[in-house]
Amino acid sequence: MDIFNVFSLIGTIAFAVSGAVVAMEEEYDILGVYVLGLVTAFGGGVVRNLLIGVPVTTLWSQGYLFMTALTAMTIAFILPVRWILRWRRSEAFFDAIGLSAFAIQGALYATKMEHPLSAVLVAAMLTGIGGGIIRDVLAGRKPLVLKDEIYAVWAMLAGVAIGLGWFKSTIELLALFAIIITFRMLSVYYKWKLPRRSLRGAFAASEKAAIRRMKVKKGE
């Protein structure tokens, strides 16, 4: 098994279990667990394939990954609750593993097709975060990858590093895998965030001011 397949396998297990746990948190039935787990594990790859010109039908040639995902979700579904709760405490770490593995896998996919750096970066990002975004939307949640600690940036960093040829050999790719996980966990621990600008308070204040003006006019 080459390094490409290793990263695919690691990412599939990590994200399939992540989707299954979210489905159980939302009290979905077993079908919902499988659907959400599969979407989390394979959704990012499907979107990536559409954008970089890979036939979506190649997804059906990954039978061993489907079986791996189904096995991982089944185990997660039947595990005792205390084990799942223990996994939840380590969720950020396993999520970081999936992010790193899939980001590197997506970047390798794009470089093998000799796409430019921009495409490699997008492929890494979408493979790393696409499944999580679809999972959160289906679960009725705001996509955490777009509002929580720095997340997508680390997938993009992996894409840039591979696209520029800084990491090529198996040892170098494994080192990059560890680096992305480390940075992701540091961003969780120290709560690093990208700059944000919220307009919710400004809109609320504007509405209140408008209501006050209307009341004053009525009083006149």
Going by C-alpha positions, the residue among 59, 203, 202 that lies closest to residue 131 is: 59
* pLDDT above 90: residue 12: no
- How many domains, in total, are found in the chain? 1
Name the phi and psi angles at 190, rounded to 5.
-95, 0
Using the predicted structure, report yes or no on whether residue 186 has a pLDDT greater than 60.
Answer: yes
* Backbone angle region of 169, left / alpha / beta, with phi > 0 → left and psi within -120 to 50 → alpha: beta
Range of the domain at 121: 3-219
The CA-atom distances, in angstroms, between 136 and each of 13, 25, 83, 144, 167 are 18, 12, 23, 8, 32
- Which of these, 12, 21, 139, 18, lies nearest to 81 by C-alpha position? 21
Distance of CA 210 to the CA centre of its chain: 41
The residue that leads in pLDDT, 51 or 144, is 51
Higher pLDDT, 110 or 2: 110
CA–CA dist 209, 76 (Å, integer): 51
pLDDT (0 to 100) of residue 3: 67
The pLDDT, as a whole number, for residue 219 is: 61
Q: Taking all residues of the chain, what is their mean pLDDT, rounded to a whole number?
A: 83
41: exposed, middle or buried (C-beta count within 10 Å: 0-12, 13-18, 19+)?
buried
pLDDT of 1 over the 60 cut: no
Whether the per-residue pLDDT at 85 is higher than 60: the answer is yes
Q: What number is the average pLDDT over the span 118-133?
A: 88
pLDDT in tens, 190-208: 887 777 777 666 666 677 7
> What confidence score (pLDDT) does residue 5 get?
75
**How far is Cα of residue 111 from the mean position of the Cα atoms in its chain?**
21
pLDDT of residue 205: 65
Tokens of 62: 């990954």
pTM (two decimals): 0.79
**Does 220 score more than 60 pLDDT?**
no
Instruction: Give the angle 123-149-89 at the CA atoms, nearest 5°.
Output: 105
